[in-house]
Amino acid sequence: MNSRERYVQTLLFGTPDRVPLDPGYGRKSTRAAWHAQGLPSDIESGDAIAEYAYRLNGGQLAWPTRGEDFAVNTRMIPEFTEEVLSRGERSQIVRDWKGNVCEISNEFTTEYLRNAIDFVTRRWVKCPVESRADWVDMMRRYDPDEPARYPSDAAARGERLQTREWPVTISINGPFWQLREWLGFENLCLLFKDDPAFVREMVAFWDDFVARVLRKALRYLVVDEVHLSEDMAYKSFAMISPAMTRDYLLPVYRHWGDIIRAAGVPVYGMDSDGYIGQLIPIWIDAGINMCDPIEVAAGNDINVFRREFGRRISFRGGVDKRQMAAGGQALNDEIARIAPVIADGGYIPSCDHGVPSDVSWPNFVQYTGLLARLTGWL
């Protein structure tokens, strides 16, 4: 069974030969710590690090390789010009590619705001949409027919990828995430109360834009997953009520789900940090059949979710990064905690977010070995 078949079979509660081994990836600061702790300096990519940790545990099975993807760009085109507006002793005020003006530490460049290079704390000063005039300017940056949104060789690439052996995913922002990028979190929350019609207008715009992009992309290639990013929950509750989520967002999720299912895409996934127990029933109603990363510190428990939602939804993530950092018996106990859900299917265990730098390299190797034994790789 190849890695594409294994991925889809696992998430659809099928019969994979073994569960994908995906321990998770460390960002720049984590990799730097690991290189100082014994990871060879020439091993840098997430896949290469995971494979090396697997081999250190005695792994002998062929490691799955990845080939080309089918990248779809739903970012604004054109982007804003990134620039440093002012610099202080410890921090700088910058404009990022999305048009946000924010404060970050002097140790980072604007590139860190463009890509997930590392964990970067920031303070927002100004967001790009603060008026109707700003909104008019923003809308013109989202032409679904812009050629740069699709691979330049889309037709030929789609043909080549028909026989791929690795999973291919299209990732897009959900409506809550996207409006928050335009307005900022506080302004968005206030707008739900002060001008709900404006919120609905922006949601409808994003709904239509993404739908048109998906229809066009999926004509070239039926991918294995369409994955939404929302990040719409605090540690204990959703950022907006379940009722508001059903009112404003559920119709969008359903609309996109209809397109995705009609095209034959098997996995419709959702990402949100924070406690998602209130949101999972809504996602299930929308036809979403996988979610991640199941952050344990936010009160998510993969075992509780499986008992409550059964096989109506599958999961990725769910391993407590704090126990990974603790190592030893604490890590053994954490992997034993999730073992019943691995055995039940519909679950790819992984770190419940990016692997932080307090997870030592020896602990990551231990953790990878424990996962490899439970998922059939050792």
Structure tokens at 133: 């005039």
Planar angle of CA 348, 301, 169, nearest 5 degrees? 30
pLDDT of residue 210: 98
Q: What is the pLDDT of residues 216-253, one digit of tens each?
A: 999 999 999 999 999 999 999 999 999 999 999 999 99
Q: What is the pLDDT of residues 32-74, one digit of tens each?
A: 999 999 999 999 999 999 999 999 999 999 999 899 999 999 9
pLDDT of residue 119: 85
- Structural domains of the chain in order of their starting residue, each with its CATH number: 3-76+129-374 (3.20.20.210), 81-127 (no CATH)
Quick one: average pLDDT of 270-283?
Answer: 97
Structure tokens at 128: 């790009």
This prediction's pTM: 0.96
C-alpha–C-alpha distance, residues 12 and 268, integer Å: 11
- Name the band, by pLDDT with cuts 50, 70 and 90, for residue 114: confident
Average pLDDT value for the chain? 96
Segments of the chain assigned E as strands? 83-87, 91-95, 101-105, 123-126, 169-173, 225-229, 267-271, 290-292, 314-319, 347-351
End-to-end alpha-carbon separation of the chain, Å?
Answer: 16
Percentage of the chain with pLDDT > 70?
A: 100
Planar angle of CA 332, 338, 341, nearest 5 degrees? 150
pLDDT of residue 128: 97
pLDDT at 117 over 90: no
The answer to whether 22 and 316 have CB atoms below 8 angstroms apart is yes
For residue 190, give the H/E element and its range: helix 185-194
Torsion of CA 275, 276, 278, 279, to 10 degrees: 150
pLDDT of residue 289: 98
